[in-house]
């Protein structure tokens, strides 16, 4: 195989869906109350704090109760109506570099799936759902016990957030 030929590494992701009796807006508010309402410019913070200890301290000041912060959002509901889909759909990118480093230090390609993404959807009868892919199912594609352990810790933190905000 030449260096320009891609290497195929198949894997199976696991998607979790938390149904909620909360309205879409209530679910969005619950998540944003936890992770913050304004995206944190983590790259800019990295430039301002040159050593790990000061960077770590600054990052900690931005994390919510479950250890995550907001990095970005995509309001799919804002454009899918043009295609005839009339539902509220919001994709959130959340994470924490202090958690991410526990995985990336074992395999830098884990950074492909850190930070993580949540999809909040409006469902029937004024209910909602929170969906995400289990991080360890994406990150650990080859045997790597330290990476698996770190990724499973992230899985647990994300599951706790999802259960709390969805009210399940």
Assigned CATH class of 15-166: alpha beta
Q: Is the pLDDT of residue 110 over 70?
A: yes
If pLDDT is split at 50, 70 and 90, which confidence band does 3 have? confident
**For the sheet containing 69-75, what is the strand order?**
15-20, 128-133, 116-122, 89-95, 69-75
Taking the alpha carbons of 157, 161, 167, 168 in that order, is the dihedral positive or negative? negative
Q: 92-130: string of b/e by CB count within 10 Å (b at 16+)?
A: bebbbbebbbbbbebbeebeebbbbbbbbbbbeeebbbb
**Residue 1: pLDDT band with limits 50, 70, 90:** low
């Amino acid at each position: 195989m030449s260096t320009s030929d891609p290497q195929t590494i198949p894997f199976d992701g696991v998607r979790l869906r938390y149904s909620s009796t909360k309205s879409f807006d209530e679910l969005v508010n619950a998540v944003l109350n936890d992770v913050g309402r304004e995206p944190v410019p983590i790259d800019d913070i990295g430039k301002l704090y040159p050593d790990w200890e000061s960077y770590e301290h600054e990052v900690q000041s931005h994390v919510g109760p479950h250890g995550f912060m907001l990095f970005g959002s995509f309001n799919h509901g804002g454009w899918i109506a043009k295609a005839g889909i009339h539902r509220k759909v919001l994709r959130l990118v959340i994470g924490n570099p202090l958690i991410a480093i526990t995985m990336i230090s074992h395999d830098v390609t884990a950074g492909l799936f850190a930070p993580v993404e949540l999809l909040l959807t409006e469902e029937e009868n004024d209910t909602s759902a929170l969906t995400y892919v289990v991080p360890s199912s994406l990150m650990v594609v080859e045997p790597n016990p330290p990476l698996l352990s770190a990724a499973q810790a992230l899985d647990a933190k994300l599951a706790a957030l999802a259960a709390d905000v969805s009210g399940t």
